[in-house]
Amino acid sequence: MAVPGRAPVADVIASLTRDVANFPTPGVQFKDLTALFVDREAMGVVIDALADVASGSDLVAGIESRGSLVAAALAARLGIGVLSIRKRGKLPPPVLTEDYDREYGAAGMEIPADSLELRGRKVMVIDDVLATGGTLGAATRLLERTGAKVIGAAVVVELIALGGRKAIAPLHVHSLSQV
């Protein structure tokens, strides 16, 4: 799908978001951003917008899996490194773990322990969707345990009704679109 290069980023995102009712659990309206990621121009608009927001960071951390995908593209644009915050059980030990609740159930996320020197690094956390805020809150705690400084978070879509922004205050979240 062709997307006008100058369309406001929120319009670009909305035009390529597929709403899926009752997935992955009943009552959840899933935001499927696959078509957005596939579209070269739309991804360019999204990454441009995130690059403005994340310009003060020296590392971006993306939440597996869709947040990591966006974070990797952003890191390449900014010329900085990227850390993928992994789902529980994917990384070899030793790991640091944080458990959390999200819109559709409990989960855990991990990063390597000891092997990364993150102390003092200015990190921007990236995810696709902000819902209840459990995920971004846990990611922030995980990174802060390493001595990294989380300077903010950015998401492609914020689900306002679920109150995630308030739940993770004072962490500042920049959303490219709100629904």
Active-site residue flag, 6? no
Write the CB contacts of 155 (distance below 8 Å, at least 6 apart in sequence): 126, 127, 128, 129, 130, 136, 173, 174, 175, 176
Binding mask 57-76 for ligand AMP (x = CB under 6 A): ------x--xx---------
Among residues 61, 73, 134, 146, the one that binds ligand AMP under rule CB under 6 A = 134
135 part of the interface to ligand AMP, by CB under 6 A: yes
Active-site residue flag, 103? yes
Q: What spatial distance separates the first Cα and last Cα of the chain, rounded to whole Å? A: 22
17 part of the interface to ligand AMP, by CB under 6 A: no
Among residues 7, 9, 14, 28, the one that binds ligand AMP under rule CB under 6 A = 28
31 part of the interface to ligand AMP, by CB under 6 A: yes
Is 142 within 8 Å of 85 (Cβ atoms)?
yes
- Residue 67 DSSP symbol: H
Residue recorded with tokens 């993770």:
168
In the complex, the smallest distance separating the C-beta of residue 158 from ligand AMP, rounded to whole angstroms, is 9
In the complex, the smallest distance separating the C-beta of residue 81 from ligand AMP, rounded to whole angstroms, is 21
Among residues 103, 150, 156, 173, the one that binds ligand AMP under rule CB under 6 A = 103
Q: Which two tokens stand for residue 49?
A: 């917008």
DSSP codes of every residue in 111-168: EESSS---TT-EEEEEEEEESSSHHHHHHHHHHHHTT-EEEEEEEEEE-GGG-HHHHT
Q: Which is nearer to ligand AMP, 58 or 104 (CB)?
A: 104
130 part of the interface to ligand AMP, by CB under 6 A: yes
142 part of the interface to ligand AMP, by CB under 6 A: no
Taking alpha carbons only, the member of 44, 50, 91, 55 closest to residue 67 is 50
User: Active-site residue numbers?
Assistant: 66, 103
Residues at the contact surface with ligand AMP, assessed by CB under 6 A? 28-31, 63, 66-67, 102-103, 127-135, 159, 164
